[in-house]
Structure 1
Amino acid sequence: MPPTPQPIAERRAAYAAELAQGTARFHEPRRADCPWCGSKRLRTRLRTPDLRQRKPGTFAVDVCGDCAHAFQNPRLTPEGLAFYRRDPREDTHDGLAERLLRARGGAGHHLAAARALLPFAEPESWLDIGTGHGHFPAAAKEVHPYTSFDGLDPTRRVEKARAAGRVEEAHVGRLTDPRIAERLRARYDVVSMFHHLEHTPEPRQELRAALAVLRPGGHLLVEVPDPDCAFGALLGKWWPAYGQPRHLHLMPLPNLLGELESLGCVVVATDRREPHIPHDLSAALALALGRALPGPDAPWCPAPPTPFQRTARRALSRASLPLLASAAALDRLSAPLLRRTRFSNAYRVVARKEA
Structure 2
Amino acid sequence: MPPTAQAVAERRPAYLTELARGTERFHEPRRPDCPWCGSTKLRTRLRTTDLLQHKPGTFTVDQCRACGHSFQNPRLTPEGLNFYYRDFYDGLRAGHAEKILGGHPSARRHRAAAHAMFRHIEPESWLDVGAGPCHFAAAAKEVLPYTAFDGLDIGDGVEEGRRAGRIEEAHRGFLTELAPRLAGRYDAMSMFHYLEHSLDPREELKAARRVLRPGGHLMIELPDPESRWATLLGKWWVSYFQPQHLHLIPLANLRTELAALGYTVVAVDRRTPHRPLDLTAACALFLGHWLPAADSPWRTKAPSDLQRGLRQALTCAGTPALVAAQAADRLLAPLAGRTGFSNAYRVVARRNPDPS
TM-score normalised per structure 2: 0.94
Aligned to 2:18: 18
Which deviations, in whole Å up to 9, do the C-alpha atoms of 1:11-54 show, x marking residues without a partner?
Answer: 11111111111100000000000000000000001100000100
Match of 1:191 among 189, 192, 216: 189
Pair 1:233 & 2:227 matched? no
C-alpha displacement of 1:99? 2.2
Alpha-carbon contact 1:129-1:191 (below 8 Å) kept: yes
Alpha-carbon contact 2:293-2:303 (below 8 Å) kept: yes
Aligned to 1:317: 315
TM-score normalised per structure 1: 0.95
Q: Return the alpha-carbon distance in structure 1 between the equivalents of residues 152 and 97 of structure 2.
A: 27
Instruction: Give structure 2 stretches of 5+ with no counterpart.
Output: none
Q: Return the alpha-carbon distance in structure 2 between the equivalents of residues 109 and 59 of structure 1.
A: 32
Q: Return the alpha-carbon distance in structure 1 between the equivalents of residues 262 and 164 of structure 2.
A: 37
After superposition, the CA RMSD in angstroms is 1.9
Alpha-carbon contact 1:96-1:321 (below 8 Å) kept: no
Cα distance change of structure 1 residues 326 and 91 upon mapping to structure 2, 3 Å threshold? farther
- Secondary structure of 1:259 counterpart: helix
C-alpha displacement of 1:6? 2.6
Pair 1:265 & 2:263 matched? yes
Aligned to 1:162: 162
Alpha-carbon contact 2:98-2:104 (below 8 Å) kept: no
Alpha-carbon contact 2:88-2:97 (below 8 Å) kept: no
Pair 1:145 & 2:145 matched? yes
Aligned to 1:182: 180
1:22 counterpart letter in structure 2:
G
Higher relative contact order (CA 8 A, sep 6+): 1
Identical columns (%): 61
Pair 1:54 & 2:41 matched? no
Aligned to 2:286: 288
Cα distance change of structure 1 residues 37 and 103 upon mapping to structure 2, 3 Å threshold? farther
1:220 counterpart letter in structure 2:
L
Which deviations, in whole Å up to 9, do the C-alpha atoms of 1:212-243 show, x marking residues without a partner?
Answer: 11011100000000100000010011101100
Alpha-carbon contact 2:102-2:277 (below 8 Å) kept: no
2:321 counterpart letter in structure 1:
L
Pair 1:218 & 2:216 matched? yes
Q: Return the alpha-carbon distance in structure 1 between the equivalents of residues 96 and 302 of structure 2.
A: 24
Match of 2:274 among 273, 276, 281: 276
1:182 counterpart letter in structure 2:
P
Alpha-carbon contact 1:192-1:220 (below 8 Å) kept: yes
Q: Return the alpha-carbon distance in structure 2 between the equivalents of residues 268 and 141 of structure 1.
A: 23
Q: Return the alpha-carbon distance in structure 1 between the equivalents of residues 320 and 142 of structure 2.
A: 35
Alpha-carbon contact 2:129-2:191 (below 8 Å) kept: yes
Runs of 4+ in 1 over 4 A off after TM superposition: 89-92, 94-98
Q: Return the alpha-carbon distance in structure 1 between the equivalents of residues 110 and 222 of structure 2.
A: 14
Aligned to 2:136: 136
Aligned to 2:116: 116
C-alpha displacement of 1:100? 3.7
Which deviations, in whole Å up to 9, do the C-alpha atoms of 1:74-121 show, x marking residues without a partner?
Answer: 0000000000000116886x9899524355632222111111112210
1:134 counterpart letter in structure 2:
C
Aligned to 1:205: 203
2:62 counterpart letter in structure 1:
D
Alpha-carbon contact 1:97-1:283 (below 8 Å) kept: no
Aligned to 2:348: 350
- Secondary structure of 1:52 counterpart: coil
C-alpha displacement of 1:333? 1.7
Q: Return the alpha-carbon distance in structure 1 between the equivalents of residues 149 and 4 of structure 2.
A: 43
Q: Return the alpha-carbon distance in structure 2 between the equivalents of residues 344 and 190 of structure 1.
A: 25
Structure 1 range deviating more: 249-258 or 307-316: 307-316
1:343 counterpart letter in structure 2:
F
